[in-house]
Chains A and B, each alone.
Chain A
Amino acid sequence: DAKTTQPPSMDCAEGRAANLPCNHSTISGNEYVYWYRQIHSQGPQYIIHGLKNNETNEMASLIITEDRKSSTLILPHATLRDTAVYYCIVRVAVLYSGGGADGLTFGKGTHLIIQP
């Protein structure tokens, strides 16, 4: 899997948009960008993923640059409950003979702290 680079920590004011950057300059054409977050002592929570188009769901928006070498996760109105470690992951599509793919490779992520 391609490696990703994220800032170790970021602050954001409550109610403002939180923009979390991720660099993945060696991403291949068949690799997706995934975002997860992890609140202390809990399992990671899936947020969103995309290949080359921008994506939006009820939690966040994912903006992928045209060259796919970087992306930004946007939490539109951050709340205190959004304080967590956010992981940006690129995932190669490796098809197992029975269908499916291998697991995700997690780095250290960005510790996002929402300030009241």
Chain B
Amino acid sequence: EVQLVESGGGLVQPGRSLRLSCTASGFTFDDYAMHWVRQAPGKGLEWVSGISWNSGTIGYADSVKGRFTISRDNAKNSLYLQMNSLRAEDMALYYCAKGASGSYYYYFDNWGQGTLVTVSS
């Protein structure tokens, strides 16, 4: 059974940094692309960033480009999101999502339960 467990969320002041992690199990992690998707309270889904199986293709939403960095450690079955210069509008539930193939250009067939990021002074 595929499991994706996010961690690292919490309360952070505007302008500070936070690093999210997603630990995967139940599948061969290094065969699949991975993504971060967020959902602000009461709002819709917003794709944040994605990374192909070998980190060869990486993309970001314009809203986070230059501030967030996605990475993965295939030896540790883990996905990361380094978030710098956080803003109030970054406050959301952050989901880790598994791509259905190693390609960055694929749909998401499994999702974690999310980790909540709160940005407030």
Bound pair (A, B): no
Which residues of A are interface residues toward B (Cβ below 8 A)?
none
